[in-house]
Amino acid sequence: MQQGADPTVKNGFGETPLERAKYLMNLGRKNNYDALRFLEDAP
């Protein structure tokens, strides 16, 4: 029986939900950074 997400259970990536959330946040931050650099480089 599932009662909410267990923060200690690892998902298919071998990460806990907290680790996954951190990874996705870092990914989003990097993508935003790349987008800003691209805009700055545009003529």
Nearest to 28 by CA among 20, 18, 40: 20
In a domain, 23, yes or no: yes
The stretch 19-42 carries a mean pLDDT of 84
Q: Check whether 1 has a pLDDT greater than 50.
A: no
Domain that includes residue 22, residue range: 15-43
Q: Which residue did the predictor score with more confidence, 5 or 18?
A: 18
Separation CA 11–CA 15 (nearest Å) = 6
Q: Check whether 14 has a pLDDT greater than 70.
A: yes
CB 10 within 8 A of CB 3: no
Q: How many domains does the chain have?
A: 1
Q: What is the mean pLDDT of the chain?
A: 78
C-alpha count within 13 angstroms, C-beta hemisphere, residue 38: 6
Q: Kindly report the pTM of this predicted structure.
A: 0.45
Nearest to 21 by CA among 4, 3, 5, 36: 5
In a domain, 25, yes or no: yes
In a domain, 29, yes or no: yes
Q: What is the pLDDT of residue 36?
A: 83
